[in-house]
Structure formats: structure tokens, C-alpha cells
Amino acid sequence: MIEQPATCRIHVEALAPAFQTQAEQWAERLGLPLQMDDGEFALQVGEQGLQLQQLGPDAPGPVRVDFVEGGAAHRRLYGGGSGQMIAKAVGVAQGVRPRVLDATAGLGKDAFVLASLGCEMSLIERQPLIGALLEDGLARGAEDFDVAPIVARMRLFKGNSIELMRNWEGEPPQVIYLDPMFPHREKTALVKKEMRLFRPLVGDDNDAPALLAAALALATHRVVVKRPRKAPCIEGPKPSHGLEGKSSRYDIYPKKALKA
């Protein structure tokens, strides 16, 4: 069952009678009620899949995971390919497509970009609601002709990233990518909406130093940490170098060279 803070009253609802059964299934899986008179968030099931909607007169629109249309599709088609900063940060190069673990998957946007470039991706999401949105988005992506081969390279795990990394089974990832929750200052409406929705549910990643330590112990070749451009590095070992953009940067902790 999801532990709901006093300020986060959440229920599940179907947007049409045809989706009632799915809504009941999600409610049972997540341990959430189907009705709530004073709810602050609704996990809604409808034609466009699963979405999280904040309730109230000033609430922003719903958030869902969509790898087929919208921003994900635009970035897949016109995002700059292997020349993107995130691709360079994780070591994508000619003949090199590392196995990457995104240990702070969120809505899966960065993982989808890397998967679209040919990287085999493992994703970990510890917040059950966000994990549900991501699971739903991957399932819908698998039904699209163009996107299916990409999401086939994305494997989702749910749980505590630190514990899962410490107890990793099988071949370890070459690269681990971290994007811990941080007080973002980006001004785009989409980021504002997502942060406004997720901040009460997720909070800040106060265990980021332990997250970094676990990643450094598991990754065979490098760890990459995404940070707001002017934010301090995560407490712990210092990165050897970084790549800086307009609003964010990538701190790079190398262990071994990636080779074709």
C-alpha cells in the first residue's frame, strides 16, 4: 500500500465506464481507494492511458507518460541524435552503445532518448504512482510500430534504487545515470506542472550521497549525474569533469574507458 502523507490524499478513478475495471485493478495494485471526497490527487484511467491529475481550481493539467506523441516523439525525430549532451555524457559514440541503468527514472524521458539511440536501458523508479505511469507508458509504446523497438530496450524495475543497486543480480550496467530530485528553477510550463505534481509525492532526494555511492560501486565504466547548472555536486567523491548546458549540467565520474 502507498504511504500517503497527510497532504497527499490520492484516489483512483475511471474517466468513463469502459475503464472502471482497469481503475479497480490499479486501485488494488497500489492500495488506493476508488473514491475520496476530499482527494488532492486522482490517478485517472481513460482513453489516453493512465494519468495523474492534481485536483482543485488552480490545478495544472494531467501528467502522463507518452513515448508515441508529443515531446518524446519530437525529440526522437529532431533531437540531435548522438550529438545530444546526454548522449555524450553517458559515452555514446561511434560503435559504442553502453548498457545504462537510469536509477532515478521518473517519467522515463532521458531513458527513452538513450534507448532511441540504441542503448540497452534498465530503469528504476521508487515512487509507486510514477512507476505506474511509466509502466503504462511503456505498455502503450510497445503497441506502436515505430516506438515498440525502442521500448523493447527499456526494462523497468520498481523499488528503492539504493537497495536494488546494492543487491544487483546479473551483469552490472556499464553506466549508471542519476537525476536526483532537486529544487528546479526551469520556467517551462511542463516542468512546472510536473514538479508541482510530483514534489508533494516525492520530495527531494535527501539520500543522494548514498545513491551516488551505490552507483559508483556497481557501474563498471562510469556514473553520470544530471544537476541544475549552478547546483553543487552531490556530497561525496568529486566528478572528474562535466558537460554544461544552458540550464543543466552532467557531472561525470569515470571508472574505465568505454570502447567499441
d(CA 168, CA 118): 23
Q: According to the annotation, is 186 in a ligand binding site?
A: no
Reported as a pLDDT band with limits 50, 70 and 90, residue 198 is low
Q: According to the annotation, is 102 in a ligand binding site?
A: no
d(CA 200, CA 207): 17
Mean pLDDT of all residues in 4-16: 76
From-to residues of CATH 3.40.50.150 in the chain: 70-254
pLDDT at 134 over 50: yes
**CB 31, CB 37: distance < 8 Å:** no
Contacts for 42 with CB less than 8 Å, ≥ 6 apart = 10, 11, 12, 13, 52, 53, 55
DSSP class per residue in 192-244: HHHHHHHHHHH---TTHHHHHHHHHHH-SSEEEEEEETTSPPPSSSPPSEEEE
In this predicted structure, what is the pLDDT of residue 32? 94
In this predicted structure, what is the pLDDT of residue 79? 60
Mean pLDDT of all residues in 94-122: 96
Q: Which CATH number fits domain 10-54: 3.30.43, 3.40.1630, 3.40.390, 3.40.50?
A: 3.40.1630
258 or 200, greater pLDDT: 258
pLDDT at 243 over 80: yes
Range name among 53-67, 88-102, 159-173 with the lowest pLDDT average: 53-67
Reported as a pLDDT band with limits 50, 70 and 90, residue 212 is very high
Helix (H, G, I), strand (E, B) or coil at 16: coil
From-to residues of CATH 3.40.1630 in the chain: 10-54
Tens digits of residue pLDDT in 139-157: 999 999 999 999 999 999 9
In this predicted structure, what is the pLDDT of residue 194? 63
In this predicted structure, what is the pLDDT of residue 197? 65
Name the pTM for this structure: 0.89
Helix (H, G, I), strand (E, B) or coil at 51: strand
Mean pLDDT of the chain: 88
Reported as a pLDDT band with limits 50, 70 and 90, residue 187 is very low
pLDDT at 6 over 60: no
**Whole-number Cα distances in Å, 101 to 170, 172, 173:** 13, 9, 6
Mean pLDDT of all residues in 89-105: 96
Helix (H, G, I), strand (E, B) or coil at 54: strand
- The closest alpha carbon to 212, from 173, 251, 248, belongs to 251
Cell of 36: 475520496
Q: Write the DSSP symbol of residue 65.
A: -
In CATH terms, the superfamily for domain 70-254 is Vaccinia Virus protein VP39 (3.40.50.150)
35 or 17, greater pLDDT: 17
d(CA 59, CA 146): 33
Q: According to the annotation, is 196 in a ligand binding site?
A: no
Percent of the residues in the chain that have a pLDDT greater than 70, as a whole number: 85
pLDDT at 196 over 80: no
In this predicted structure, what is the pLDDT of residue 189? 47
Mean pLDDT of all residues in 21-47: 93
